[in-house]
Chains A and B, each alone.
Chain A
Amino acid sequence: MRNNGISIQTQALNKTFGPVHAVRDLDLEVASGGRFGFLRPNRAGKTTTVRILSGLMKPTSGSASVLGMDILTHAGEIKSLTGLLPETPGLYSKLSAVEFLDFIGALNGLEGPVLDRRIDSLLSMLGLEGRQDDLLDSYSSGMKQKVLVASTLLHEPRLVFLDEPTSRLDPSAGALVKDLILVLAEETETTFFICTHQTSFAEDVCDIVGIINDGSLVIVDSPNGIVESTSAKDLEEAYLKIVGGQVDRDSLLAWR
């Protein structure tokens, strides 16, 4: 199953939930070792796209391959080679960070000293070493997000799906996650597929950004390329020009 330098490839991918068309004719290619940023408005189906690509959900139509494998026929293999950071934390409140990572490691077939070393290293790197044995129900949302980041990287996936990875993190933790993504992509050829609303994060981290409007992919280019092609001063302005959503001052007071 060769992937010819392409980690993700989709063709006319569609997903509907009754009348809601969450993903519409998505044609996408993400290069191996790349950092692809997926910018979408709220409720535009980015989480659905991630779930389809990680083998958790069937598309309504179209096809997709991840790491050279078809998502419908090789979901198990895809899961073992990919990592998923969900948008909202699904942690076990009555486990400590170490126990939760032990659980995730066991689910992925890891055990013993290798697992212990990875857990210690990741928690230490993310600044949780002093709290690693505290129950997760006492963690702040930022700390929980750090544990989730660690759980996503624990089994050294070749492709990582990150759904809003820094939305709950403070600036320093956000910067750490940015550096972690950049280092992993450069040193280990890990591919990152990042869903985010934060244009500044996408601008700093992603080498390619795709913007989706009304369920369809409107533009795919480097952040600079998108800024230049829309004659905007930064990616946020470019995004607003493409997706819309700028409101004039009069409208902002119209509700009174």
Chain B
Amino acid sequence: MTRKWYHIAKAEFYVLTSGLRRHRKVTVTIMYVLAAVWAAYFAPMIIGGFLGAIMPMEVMRTLLMVMFPGLMRTVILFLWALLLLFPLSHALQEIKIGQWEIFLSNNVKTRDILAGTFVGKIPMYGLIVMVFAPLLISPFMLAFEVSLIGQALVYTVIALMVLSTIWLSNFITAIIQARLGDSSRGNDIAKALSVVVALIVIIPMYGLMLFMPQLSGILGINAFLVMPFTWPADLVSWVTITFNGIGLTGSQILAFGAILQLDMLTSALLMAAFGLAFVPIAITAADRVFTISAGVRTETVTTVGRENVFLRGIRSFAKGPFGALTIVSLKDFGRKAQNLSKIFYGVVLAIILPMLMQQITIVEGEVFEAAEILPMISIMIGVVGVFPFAGTGFLESKDQLWIIRSAPKGASHFMRARVATGFMMAIPLSLAPTIAMTLMFNLALLSAVQIFCAAYVTVCGAVMVSMGITAQNPNYEDTKSSAHQTVLITSMMLVQFTLIGPLFATIFLDIGLGFNLFRFMESIFGLSGFMVVELVLGPTVLLLVGGLMLHLGIRSLGKVEV
């Protein structure tokens, strides 16, 4: 009798580590050894050194103790969200339920599919946790001087949480994949969901980085006792308190108990019950989850209607093939749920920026003028312009590229239409932070117009850079490919460096040649030199770099292959 789940787990592991296939065993072993050394030695040492540099341990201890249970819940929430949603986001980027047909036709039991896909995921996601968990947990271990037994128990709790969360995540992923099906439409929705899911993961991350006291306060309230991430968090808190080496007094432990509400045993039982409950639930439901859908012919057929006023307006404004191509490009971009979800993601990021600033205003008492906000926004808004256009929403396949290339100057016509589409999509991306900032800071209309213009020019520059770089290395909608990562990272870096570059150049000019460009700009424009450099020079250079990237992209896309 072959262990079918084992072979499915092996295949799943091979897929997750396909990038290492030549030296898989050696590389994975080395990675685990390094992760273990990192977790046991380097992470606590680095964190200890870092915390010691910021403030004395006594002060840190007092601070951590004040926020302790809520802070632990925040940390565990981040790990929990990461484990639950990252595999989900990863799986949704490419739905492959065609494999289920192979499993089922080979008489594999659905519980074996569930167990196999679960076990196959453990090594890689376990490794991720081994890297992240010590960073998040070490400050508490150091502050409370937790004994070795205590630390072993803490990491055991985290390991159990990891297993139950991966099991849950694996189960939810299978349900969503089965619901969406292996179709063009299902894949599109899945990719859109993967972006939204990623957004959910970054919220606790931003919370940890920027609003830790507020988030800890919120998560510390009793309402969160019903959330599954609270139980392992509280259990870790109890173990930390119980095995502390700083001599917590009985009254202090009682005070923590009052905040935590549930005792150690109850937290442990709830955590175990939650983890174990999903094992029979998932196994029982597996037969209903792993089903083959009826196929393309039974899907809902979408029929396009008459062109709307906006598209008709473009058609009458831009006559000829360019207008027609731009309209087709807009339709293609706008009908893909994943593109819209990226625009939504960009808009959310663009609104988060002024929210962060407002938070700083509230917490640190600083008051920002519009003139101060503008340069900062223009630097950050570049990222918003890159994300929806770098790598995806460009070409679906290499076969599409052959069709475009087979037309005379096809690549050039295609790129111009795509860029025009990007410029139109830049409007909501620039409008969102403008409206948010205008409302939050009660800005005058003129300031709002200034912000919009600055944001729009920056987003358009980022669009040109992103599309130019994508055209030089198209990844054909494969968001898991190395080409996609390269395009995304290169576009982000280039936009950021281009926007900040003039600032550095100005400083170097001042130091090297004694020429103060800030003052020079101020003498001409009458505004703060810094603001002029950042608002005018940065985006101008970005537009030039964008133009260059586009030129290179068109050449690369239209080249005759060697």
Which residues of A does B touch, CB under 8 Å? 51, 54-58, 72, 75-77, 79-80, 82-84, 86, 88-96, 99-100, 102-111, 133-135, 137-138, 140, 151
Contact = CB atoms under 8 A, between A and B. Distances in A.
22 contacts: A51-B561, A54-B406, A58-B560, A75-B560, A76-B408, A77-B408, A79-B406, A83-B406, A84-B403, A88-B397, A90-B403, A93-B184, A94-B188, A94-B332, A95-B328, A99-B328, A99-B331, A103-B325, A106-B321, A111-B320, A135-B335, A140-B296
Contacts of A80: 407-408
B302 A111 contact: no
A58 B407 contact: no
A243 B78 CA distance: 62
B482 interface: no
B322 to A, nearest CB: 8
Identify the interface centre among B188, B322, B414, B562: most chain A CB within 10 Å of its CB.
B562
B489 interface: no
Contacts of B324: 102-103, 105-106, 111
B409 interface: yes
Interface string B546-562: 00000000000000111
B408 A108 contact: yes
Contacts of B401: 90
Contact of A104 (B331, B407, B409): B407
Contacts of A100: 328
B413 interface: yes
A104 B304 contact: no
Scoring A83, A91, A92 by chain B CB atoms within 10 A of each residue's CB, the highest score goes to A92
B399 interface: yes
B406 A92 contact: no
A107 B414 contact: yes
A109 B323 CA distance: 11
Nearest to B306: A133
Interface residues on B, range: 35 or more
Nearest to A54: B406
A95 B560 contact: no
Contacts of A135: 301-304, 335
Interface in B466-487: none
A140 B328 contact: no
Interface of B: 183-185, 188, 296-297, 299-305, 319-322, 324-325, 328, 331-332, 335-336, 396-410, 413-414, 560-562
A90 B398 contact: yes
- Interface centre among A57, A94, A108, by most B CB within 10 Å? A94
Contact of B325 (A56, A77, A96, A106): A106
B407 A86 contact: no
Given A95-B331, A106-B328, A107-B321, A57 B560 contact: yes
A106 B413 contact: yes
A135 B304 CA distance: 7
The 8 closest A-B pairs by CB, nearest first: A90-B399, A137-B184, A90-B400, A107-B407, A94-B335, A106-B324, A106-B321, A103-B328
B328 A84 contact: no
A40 B543 CA distance: 50
B328 A133 contact: no
A71 B100 CA distance: 47
Contacts of B396: 90, 92-93
A47 B407 CA distance: 17
A86 B399 contact: yes
A7 B3 CA distance: 61
Given A90-B397, A93-B396, A135-B335, A110 B321 contact: yes
